[in-house]
Amino acid sequence: MSEKVYIARNYRSKFDAAGKAKMDCETILAESGWKNIGFKQTWISNGPIGTALSALGVTWALLRLKKGSTVCTQYPFKKFYRYTAWGARLKKCKLVTIVHDVTSLKKRHLDPTPEIALLSRSETLIVHNTSMARWFSENGINADMVSLEAFDYLHEPKFDAQRKSVDMQDLRLVFAGNMGGKQQFLYDLDTLDKGNYHVDLYGVGFKPEKVHNADDTKLNYIGKFPADEVIDRIDGDFGIVWYGDSLDSCDCPNGQYLKYNNPHKLSLYLLCEMPIIIWDKAAMADFVASNGVGIVLSSLKELPHKLAELSEHDFNTMKDNARRLKAKLEKGGFLADALAKAEK
């Protein structure tokens, strides 16, 4: 059997939300029997020093790489993905790539040909979901593909999270993330019928001047918290996965990207034991529906009616399903399953 290896890298911070998914993947690789042949994972915020350390780590790893091994890497990997793929091919190794972001898919005005050619250097890609796999196939990818289904979310509690019991007459909807830029939909939620809910906001970029009626708003800004604490701070009944300026669709670039990607935000909500509210054209809408873990909407204008007709029994079923998925997500179960398929 060939040796299974990966190359750890430097990240700007151990508590940086931007690197969370990749750091978790390294941990899950190690727990799944893969060996790190680079330097230890580090967290140096200085850009040039961190980049130099990653470069040295990759070089050291490729020198140690045994012929015929299976190498797992992550994409994007700054300047080092091409370098890693070159070293793996030189030593006749199989390359497995965990895909996090696809620039030409996220920024649809870009020609995907160069990125497709680069990723085709892998024998196997672990992609977000079947929608992303279909896009790769339509654009001529030359690699086998395995669907991840959802990004795992490893977490060590900083303190005991305080979770209130549900009040069906005042459901707590949560949006966690950046509220700046094209996120007008958040403020336009105030134009909907009042209903049996309010919206708690966590993160940066909240603009109180954009609230439609400050004296009678359903928006409640809680604040921002460090990335390693936010799970223990959030307390709510549903997590909202939506982007853009419209209640009717996710019309901005990040919103359109929902048609293909697995938002880390969705995994965060499930770790908080919250069912999901998601756009019906999002790639993860099928995941939410098939796992019975939320509400799928074509427009947020449907929200007051959907929540008004929701029974406590149906909510508790969604909550139980969220807990079931949480147990798999917090143990790295989705990536572990994908890695097992990729090995075959």
Specify whether 214 is located in the same domain as 73. Answer: no
Last residue in a domain, options 104, 132, 147: 147
d(CA 152, CA 336): 9
Residue 225 structure tokens: 């918290």
Instruction: Give a yes or no: residue 320 inside a domain.
Output: yes
Q: In what order do the strands lie in the sheet with 197-202?
A: 219-223, 197-202, 171-176, 238-241, 276-279, 294-297
- The residue range of the domain holding 48 is 4-147
Residue 149 identity (one-letter amino acid)? E
Shared domain check, 236 and 143: no
250 within 8 A of 243, measured Cβ to Cβ:
yes
Q: How many folded domains does the chain comprise?
A: 2
Say whether both 142 and 185 belong to one domain.
no
The 10 Å Cβ neighbour count of residue 277 is 24
336 in a structural domain:
no
pLDDT in the model for residue 253: 79
Q: Are residues 140 and 175 in the same domain?
A: no
Q: Are residues 175 and 201 in contact, defined by beta-carbon separation less than 8 angstroms?
A: yes
Domain boundary among 98, 114, 147: 147
Q: Residue 297 falls within a domain, yes or no? A: yes
The pLDDT of residue 181: 84
Query: CATH code at 223?
Result: 3.40.50.2000
Question: Does one domain contain both 178 and 115?
Answer: no
Bridge partner residues of 173 (DSSP) = 199, 238
Q: Does some domain include residue 251?
A: yes
DSSP per-residue string spanning 231-258 = HHH---SEEEE--SS-SS---SHHHHHT
Tell whether 179 and 319 lie within a shared domain.
yes
* In a shared domain, residues 187 and 303: yes
Query: Quick check: is 215 in a domain?
Result: yes
Please tell me the predicted confidence (pLDDT) of residue 254: 81
Residues 6+ apart with CB under 8 A from 95: 70, 71, 73, 84, 85, 88, 89, 121, 122, 123, 124
Same domain, residue pair 34 and 112: yes
> Tens place of pLDDT for every residue, the chain, 344 residues?
689 999 999 998 887 777 999 999 999 999 999 999 999 999 998 889 999 999 999 999 999 999 999 999 999 998 899 999 999 999 999 999 999 999 999 988 889 999 999 999 999 999 999 999 999 999 999 899 999 999 999 998 877 777 899 999 999 999 999 998 889 999 999 999 889 999 999 999 999 999 988 889 999 999 998 887 889 999 999 999 999 999 999 988 788 999 999 999 999 999 999 999 999 999 999 999 999 999 999 999 999 999 999 999 999 999 999 999 999 999 999 999 999 999 98
On whether both 108 and 218 belong to a single domain, the answer is no
Q: What contacts 48, CB < 8 A, 6 or more positions away?
A: none
d(CA 233, CA 158): 10
Contact at 8 Å (CB) between 285 and 296?
A: yes
Whether 142 and 35 map to the same domain: the answer is yes
Shared domain check, 211 and 119: no
In angstroms, the CA 65 to CA 290 distance is 41
In a domain, 163, yes or no: no
- 209 residue type, one letter: E
